[in-house]
Amino acid sequence: MILGFDPGRDKCGLAVIGQEQQLLYHQVVPSPQAIATIKELSQKFPLETIVMGNGTTAKNWQQEISRNIGGSLSIALVDERYSTLEARDRYWQMYPPQGLQRLIPQGMRQPPRPVDDLVAIILVERYLKLEKK
């Protein structure tokens, strides 16, 4: 199983993807709770790899995870460019707009919640595409 991790200064997105590429868990957590949540998820699911975006805070988070979780999980970095924009589109696919929201063009709609967990899903999908090549 793979843990997608979208690290951020204020909040982090987490997603667990199973072997059949099914979504088993996704959530946005405050950054100070991210390591504890990853520990909980690693006890609940047989995680093999953590996939993270390669943004500005990636190296610090990579060190933090290695220090706190241990060396049993491999950490893979993937390109995170445009992942937030893609996650906004994914939000509307997963949660179609209701009522008057449907009248607003999709490009102008803002999801009513952070989409960092959906970014984590997209990062895992990008990783899996690279692995197939």
DSSP letter for 111, please: -
Q: Measured between alpha carbons, how far is 130 from 133 in angstroms, rounded to an integer?
A: 5
Q: Are 118 and 5 within 8 A, CB to CB?
A: no
pLDDT in tens, 115-133: 999 999 999 999 999 887 6
Number of structural domains (the chain) is: 1
pLDDT in tens, 29-88: 999 999 999 999 999 999 999 999 988 788 899 999 988 886 678 999 999 999 999 999
Q: Tokens standing for 75?
A: 């950490």
**pTM value > 0.85:** yes
* 89: containing domain: 2-132
Please give the full DSSP string across 30-84, using - where no structure is assigned.
Answer: EGGGHHHHHHHHHHHS---EEEEE-STTHHHHHHHHHHHH-TTSEEEEE--TTHH
Q: What's 14's domain CATH number?
A: 3.30.420.140
pLDDT in tens, 22-45: 999 999 999 999 999 999 999 999
pLDDT in tens, 90-116: 999 999 999 988 898 888 889 999 999
Select from 36, 37, 4, 8 the least CA-distant residue to 114.
8
